[in-house]
């Protein structure tokens, strides 16, 4: 028996903010979740699998119109024509209380109840699927606790949308433990909700396939589904398969060997070429972080617009299928800041003043008050996460002063050394 397990498709998930990026492949990224789902269905048909298991969040939320639902139904109908069954549960994004519009699903699809755990048996396949959908978005109880014990003589699969005991960046919905799942006696647990693929256990198999298509730089690397091969009541193998059509990368490029911005651009281009090669022909969406300590630091930070343009030009030189989402400069100066602070001249005074301010609560408070109205006037999107920084957030002003010191002092030293 061959099963495909997928989750977190988030069909037609809105990719907000793309329009503010010049040259962003908005059209390609907006249809990426649909194309990834087509890749999933194509694989099911080509490999003639027996069933598809969907562990929640097929939709990203309530539909804007019926087109999202119609697309999903049409793809499931392709599986019906091939005799492939589908079992699904609802997650937090497509819970019964969230989706207000409904379409009748093809008869090959079993959507498990949101009222209580339900068991669906296919005698022909020798398969029992146990699961419960989310009735509402915020499910705080352990749904798995009420799942029934395994049925003898069948391959038992549990279908559940959960964060288990907790995962970073994921709300703790339907919390449970691997031990609780193992106690049910199922051969395989098909989980959803966590967007990073993870094999939690192999005895029994407890698997997060990750989401089908990365939607931002927070969802990097290969995305797809898993193929489960079973014999009788036992799982023999679990293999990941890529389905994504656009791949996100968060690239840190060490430019410390660079002697000029052109040298740095060459290093960036090599990193982007490697990312493109690893993405196997897919659209590459990358955030590029320039790191390292070296002589190029001052030139990079002196003209950030030129630095960003240089990185984007390097991407264009690699391929038209490589797009840089954002450029973040985190380089450090070659100048020894500690020695600069020891100097007895005006430069040393400036270095000490900026450095010491980070350790003076009264100075930090006054600076935060002065910066706040200025920061509020700046346009969104300047900082790495959409804003430069929050002057009221602890540690942010200190970090800002550290960046000022790392930028200003080397520039003063360089100016001093010029003839």
Question: How far apart (Å, rounded) are the C-alpha atoms in residues 333 and 294?
Answer: 6
Omega within 30 of 0 (cis) for the link into 129? no
Cα dist from 330 to 256, 282, 403, whole Å: 11, 28, 9
90 lies in the same domain as 144? yes
Provide the mean pLDDT of the chain: 88
413 and 268 co-located in one domain: yes
DSSP bridge partners of 293: 332
User: Residues 53, 20: one domain?
Assistant: yes
User: How many whole angstroms separate alpha carbon 356 and alpha carbon 402?
Assistant: 10
Total domain count for the chain?
A: 2
Alpha-carbon distance of 10 to 244, in angstroms, equals 13
Single residue among 182, 209, 242 that ends a domain in this structure: 242
CA atoms within 13 A on the CB side of 143: 31
Is the per-residue pLDDT at 207 higher than 70? yes
Residue ending a domain, choose from 218, 242, 266: 242
CATH number at residue 53: 3.60.21.10
Residues 58 and 154 reside in one and the same domain: yes
Query: Are 230 and 280 in a shared domain?
Result: no
Task: For residues 222 and 258, state if they share a domain.
Answer: no
User: How far is 276 from 293, CA to CA, in rounded Å?
Assistant: 26
What is the per-residue pLDDT for 415?
A: 60
Residue 300's domain comprises 250-417
Return the pLDDT at 170: 76
In this structure, the answer to whether residues 231 and 359 fall within a common structural domain is: no
288 and 232 co-located in one domain: no
11-33 pLDDT tens trace: 998 765 565 666 778 888 889 99
Mean pLDDT, to the nearest integer, of 341-348? 82
**Residue at which a domain ends, from 242, 277, 294:** 242
pTM listed for this prediction = 0.81
Looking at residues 164-178, what average pLDDT do you find? 85
Looking at residue 413, its pLDDT comes to 67
Which segment of 14-18, 36-40, 252-256, 298-302 scores lowest on mean pLDDT?
A: 14-18
Could you tell me if 48 and 150 lie in one domain? yes
Q: Are 236 and 257 contained in the same domain?
A: no
- On whether both 260 and 195 belong to a single domain, the answer is no
Q: Are residues 170 and 303 in the same domain?
A: no
pLDDT at 243: 97
């Amino acid at each position: 028996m061959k099963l495909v397990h997928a989750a977190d498709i988030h069909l037609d998930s809105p990719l907000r903010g793309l329009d503010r990026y010049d040259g962003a492949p908005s059209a390609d990224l907006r249809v990426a979740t649909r194309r990834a789902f087509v890749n999933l269905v194509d694989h099911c048909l080509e490999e003639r699998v027996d069933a598809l298991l969907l562990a929640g969040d097929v939709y990203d939320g309530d539909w804007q119109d019926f087109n999202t639902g119609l697309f999903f139904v049409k793809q499931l109908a392709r599986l019906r024509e091939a005799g492939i069954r589908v079992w699904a549960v609802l997650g937090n994004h497509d819970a019964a209380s969230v989706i207000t519009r409904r379409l009748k699903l093809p008869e090959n699809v079993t959507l498990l109840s949101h009222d209580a755990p339900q068991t669906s048996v296919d005698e022909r396949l020798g398969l029992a699927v146990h699961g419960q959908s989310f009735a509402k978005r915020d499910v705080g109880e352990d749904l798995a606790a009420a799942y029934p014990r395994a049925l003898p003589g069948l391959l038992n699969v549990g279908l559940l949308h959960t964060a288990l005991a907790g995962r970073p960046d994921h709300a703790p919905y339907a919390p449970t433990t691997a031990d609780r799942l193992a106690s049910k006696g199922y051969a395989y647990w098909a989980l959803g909700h966590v967007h990073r693929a993870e094999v939690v256990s192999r005895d029994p198999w407890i698997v997060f396939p990750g989401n089908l298509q990365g939607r931002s730089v927070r969802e990097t690397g290969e995305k797809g589904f898993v193929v489960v091969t079973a014999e009788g009541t036992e799982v023999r193998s679990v293999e990941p398969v890529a389905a994504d059509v656009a791949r996100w990368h968060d690239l840190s490029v060490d430019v410390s060997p660079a002697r000029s911005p052109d040298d740095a651009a060459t290093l960036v281009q090599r990193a982007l070429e490697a990312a493109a090669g690893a993405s196997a022909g897919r659209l590459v969406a990358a955030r590029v972080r320039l790191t390292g300590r070296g002589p190029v630091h001052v030139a990079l930070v002196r003209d950030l617009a030129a630095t960003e343009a240089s990185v984007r030009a390097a991407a264009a030189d690699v391929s038209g299928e490589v797009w840089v989402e954002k450029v973040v400069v985190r380089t450090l100066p070659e100048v020894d800041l500690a020695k600069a602070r020891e100097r007895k001249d005006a430069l040393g005074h400036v270095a000490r003043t900026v450095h010491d301010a980070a350790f003076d609560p009264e100075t930090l408070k006054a600076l935060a008050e002065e910066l706040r109205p200025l920061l509020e006037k700046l346009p969104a999107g300047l900082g790495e996460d959409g804003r430069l920084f929050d002057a009221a957030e602890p540690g942010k002003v200190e970090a800002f002063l550290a960046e000022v010191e790392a930028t200003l002092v080397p520039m003063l030293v360089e100016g001093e050394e010029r003839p």
